[in-house]
Structure 1
Amino acid sequence: MKLTVLVPASLVTETDDARTATAKVGQVARAAAIFRCENVVVYDDGKEHEDDGDLIAQVLRYAATPPYLRKTVFDRRDELRYVGVLPPLGTPLHSVTAGSDSEGFEPEYREGVVTKVGTDGRVWVNCGTQHPVALRVPDEGIREGERVTLRISSREPLRAQVAEQPPYGGYEVERAPLDDWLDAHEGVVVCASRRGKVVEDGDLRADNLAIVFGAPQRGVGEILRERDVSVEFDSVVNTLPNQGVETVRTEEAVLATLALANKANR
């Protein structure tokens, strides 16, 4: 299953400070990684929320980047002041093995950034090792600054190649208007809402599934009405019927809904 989560830029507007907002986004990041989301889309829901959307997108990208690459990929920026409160994602590309000998060495996968492209098909990749890894690649389309996943089969001597089937490493992050993104989406689109029908497995069963969430104080329907935008969903479902609290936070709804989608697609 290809899975996409869509959350509004107003996700963090009710938080008191940037530290709390960062922690809130970290919970969305963690849920997305647990259930192997490929994409997290931060959709625009008003110009007054643009700065919040920037914070959400940057924090999501930071959380999805392996710790050994963060200094390379991110410079100092205001949105990342409180990333120390983020929970670790712990994906296979975030946790690397420590081996030194070719004998008995389990293949190690690392995400890296291409720092140099030679004219002879050789590229240099910074993947958090002491020195950039030099290797030849058959695809001449690899560009400087591109992120690739390496399969390291030996440390001494160093042997590495671009991984053909890398393990799950996290999600990509996009910013987009909701209606534009959904118009281009080829798959099933589900809206999570407390006003929807009680969810069934069939509502979430799809090869390419996108799930749209609202903010705690405004559901998806309200957001669309405020922007005078019309979107058709394949289904509108309540994934937390008989809730025992007045308001379910978006990050809580994301975790609960993705758990149900995971079950439905087993």
Structure 2
Amino acid sequence: METPVTKKKTKKMKREEMEQQRTDESVDVDEAAATSVEKKTKKKKRRRGEEENGEEAEGGGVQTVSIAVAGSIIDNAQSSELATRLAGQIARAATIFRIDEVIVFDDQAKATTSNISIWDADEKNKSGALFMARILNYLDIPQYLRRTLVPRHNDLRHVGLLPPLDAPHHARKHEWVPYREGVTLDRTSVAGGGTFVDVGLHKAVCIQQTFEPGLRVTVAMGSKRSLEDDCIRQAVDRSEPNKKMGLYWGYNVRYSSNISCVFKECPYQGGYDYSIGTSEHGDKISSGDLEIPKFRHLLIAFGGLAGLEENIEQDGDLMGKNVTQLFSRYLNTCPKQGSRTIRTEEAIFISLQYFQDPIQRATI
């Protein structure tokens, strides 16, 4: 026979068991919901990963736009100062329209390869293409790195007259930005690992990786604004600011000894999968009607003083070919021009604006 005390304990235990049961059921429901969400998330991640892997297999998954410009337009300039200003206009156009690569091809050279450094070339070589490549390269480098990374050269004597590109990777000294360009120093951290990098601030920062001095690197600065030595940062691929945050991070400069080398020495795996030549002799299509297929690497070419047709005729590797065989499309981007001639630096601005909408429609 149960005592009153035992009955009270029994009722209390039953209430506790019922409450525990409700709690367990609630937990089960929550866990089931969490598991469902987790499965969906994993499925999405797996699907996204498959898409990314597919993109990588096909060539990186990042679209690039390159422009090729004939170096002979520099030879037509009446002075070194005007030639410098002309190259500066092309650099500004490349930056404004987020161009990834600028190829300067030498339509006056006889060489068949481009195995030449634009800075190591003999200064007596008065090639307009090399001159332009040097100015373009100098302007893309952040101002605080130029003294370290750019050698003294006679072709640079008028660069102080040029307006800055003011691109995101040209960070100012007082700015704290997610990424900064830097140059590695001949210093390692006290702990014996990592490398110090000059990123244009009042103090060098330390990165985890170990590099030899004098290399240009992109540094992820993170959210912590401390410049203390124990705040270790990371060197990342130069494409990361664009991939993760959509920041335009400058252009690469490439010298080509002729127009055929523009294609043969393409740095992208698989080459340019779509190319466009521009000329007043090209097809007249409005930008609204122009359809560019989805692409990985797009090339837009601008000819020299006599146009792309003559550049192709002068190239021994392209004998027997015409301009329509070399490019996917051959277009006139300014069909109702008032002047008999459009200068190349003008054509670049006109054409890159003309291609803006078609390129956006062709986004992967």
TM class by shorter-chain length?
0.7 to 0.9
Contact 2:144 2:200 in 1 (8 A): yes
Shift of 1:92: 0.8
More helix by share: 2
Higher relative contact order (CA 8 A, sep 6+): 1
Return 5+ residue gaps in structure 2 as ranges: 1-62, 111-124, 242-246
Contact 1:57 1:174 in 2 (8 A): yes
CA RMSD of aligned residues (A): 2.4
What CA deviation, in whole Å up to 9, does each residue of 1:149-169 have, x standing for no partner?
122233334443324622322
User: What aligned pairs does 1:1-266 form with structure 2 within 5 A after superposition?
Assistant: 1-47=63-109, 51-96=127-172, 98=174, 107-116=177-186, 121-137=193-209, 142-152=211-221, 153-158=223-228, 159=231, 160-163=233-236, 165-166=240-241, 167-176=247-256, 177-183=258-264, 184=266, 185-199=271-285, 200-203=289-292, 206-215=295-304, 217-228=305-316, 229=318, 230=321, 232-266=326-360
More strand by share: 1
Q: Distance in 2 between matches of 1:84 and 1:9?
A: 21
Q: 1:155 to 1:175 in 2, by over 3 A?
A: same
Amino acid at match of 2:249: G
Shift of 1:56: 0.3
Higher radius of gyration, 1 or 2? 2
Contact 2:260 2:315 in 1 (8 A): no
Shift of 1:175: 0.6
Q: Relative to structure 2, which stretch is displaced further, 183-192 or 115-124? A: 115-124
Q: 1:187 to 1:222 in 2, by over 3 A?
A: same
Shift of 1:50: 5.5
Contact 1:42 1:53 in 2 (8 A): yes
Contact 2:106 2:128 in 1 (8 A): no
Counterpart for residue 102 of structure 1: none
- Report SS of the residue matched to 1:110: strand
Contact 2:183 2:199 in 1 (8 A): yes
Contact 2:292 2:359 in 1 (8 A): no
Q: Distance in 2 between matches of 1:201 and 1:115?
A: 49
- Report SS of the residue matched to 1:87: coil
Amino acid at match of 1:209: L
Amino acid at match of 1:52: G
Q: Distance in 1 between matches of 2:193 and 2:299?
A: 38
Q: 1:175 to 1:157 in 2, by over 3 A?
A: closer
Amino acid at match of 2:339: V
Q: 1:134 to 1:155 in 2, by over 3 A?
A: same
- Report SS of the residue matched to 1:16: coil
What CA deviation, in whole Å up to 9, does each residue of 1:91-123 have, x standing for no partner?
111133725xxxxxx644211112347595411
Q: Distance in 2 between matches of 1:44 and 1:14?
A: 14
Amino acid at match of 1:134: C
Determine what percentage of the aligned residue pairs are the same residue: 30
Q: Distance in 2 between matches of 1:42 and 1:194?
A: 21
Residue-pair matches, total: 256
Q: 1:157 to 1:22 in 2, by over 3 A?
A: closer
Q: Distance in 1 between matches of 2:250 and 2:335?
A: 30
- Report SS of the residue matched to 2:88: helix
